[in-house]
Amino acid sequence: MHIQVSLGAVAHLVHSEFARLRSPLIWGDCVMDFTLGRLGTKTIAPVSMIVGPGNAFVAEAKRQLFGRVGIDLIAGPTETLVIADETVDGELCTTDLLGQTEHGVNTPAILLTTSEKLARETMAEVERLLSILPTGELASVSWRDYGEVIVCDSDEEMVREADRIASEHVQVMTRDPEYFFKNLKNYGALFLGPRTNVAYGDKVIGTNHTLPTGKAARYTGGLWVGKFIKTCTYQKVLTDEASAMIGEYCSRLCVLEGFLAHAEQANIRVRRYSGRHVVYAGAAD
């Protein structure tokens, strides 16, 4: 028997009245999140989704609103991982590590390197730059509590360690950055070569400022256009014969699971579309 069943999926843009605004809202981020997510305003209906970067208060607003509205992800605190070898110096590595530690007192900053000399230079440079950095008092707490320097035997080991750490930002400054581009799997955003850095990505070149933290890069990426598309599936059985045949399988599975009302959804169609008798709440033969 030829079974005809139509299966498919439809993608819809997530609707948000916020997208209709013609003038800017000048509110604090977390206040805006709560207002638009829960209440709306006199002219704006409650939105369907809230996305974008923010501090700990924004993350908490998203956490409390999740379920009532969609969110991109709950991110923070920020993280940075620098992968470097002897082709760069300690000052450059330290500058890029401390660039993120000024965010707060709980920002992980990690150096992975195959060069013990670079590791020692970087640790010495940290002390020097923290003494002259205007935000050094804040950055020094993160470095003291969350800073790490890990010396590896090879590029392969650095890849394994980096994927284990699964950092939000991963900056690669090695002889062959392309090797890491081809082999790394767990990161929020990757910055290849000494000419780029996390600040460039955050402020100018993108591609994103809302990225996974807390090892979430093992299973998700950052905010992207796909977050604004939802997939709705549909099913349509096209013939009487198909419905009856599928119903027989469905009936037996439902009875085995003890879902007898489910089974009757299948049984009634077996009776009507095949003319066969099925005992009420029983399994189709």
Task: Give the per-residue pLDDT at 17.
Answer: 39
Give the residue with greater pLDDT, 126 vs 29: 126
Confidence of residue 30 (pLDDT cuts 50, 70, 90): low
> Are 161 and 136 spatial neighbours (Cβ–Cβ below 8 Å)?
no
Task: Give the per-residue pLDDT at 18.
Answer: 40
Task: Give the per-residue pLDDT at 200.
Answer: 95
Mean predicted lDDT score pLDDT of the chain = 88
H and E: helices and strands count for the chain: 10, 9
Question: Per-residue pLDDT for 141 more than 80?
Answer: yes
264 noted as active-site residue: no
**Buried-state track 127-139, b at ≥16 Cβ within 10 A, e below 16:** eebbeebeebeeb
Residue type, position 13, single letter:
L
Least confident of 35-49, 118-132, 187-201, 228-242: 35-49
Cβ neighbours for 118, distance < 8 A, ≥ 6 positions apart: 84, 85, 86, 88, 89, 90, 93
Instruction: Match 């900056």 to its residue by tokens.
Output: 171
Q: In whole angstroms, what is the distance from residue 186 CA to residue 202 CA?
A: 19
Which of these is catalytic: 103, 125, 169, 248? 169
Give mean pLDDT, residues 134-159: 97
Return the percentage of the chain with pLDDT > 90, whole number: 67
Confidence of residue 43 (pLDDT cuts 50, 70, 90): confident
Question: Per-residue pLDDT for 230 more than 90?
Answer: no
Which of these is catalytic: 121, 125, 168, 248? 168
168 noted as active-site residue: yes
Confidence of residue 39 (pLDDT cuts 50, 70, 90): low
Give the residue with greater pLDDT, 276 vs 75: 276
Task: Give the per-residue pLDDT at 106.
Answer: 94
Task: Give the per-residue pLDDT at 125.
Answer: 98
Give the residue with greater pLDDT, 55 vs 267: 267
Question: Per-residue pLDDT for 205 more than 70?
Answer: yes
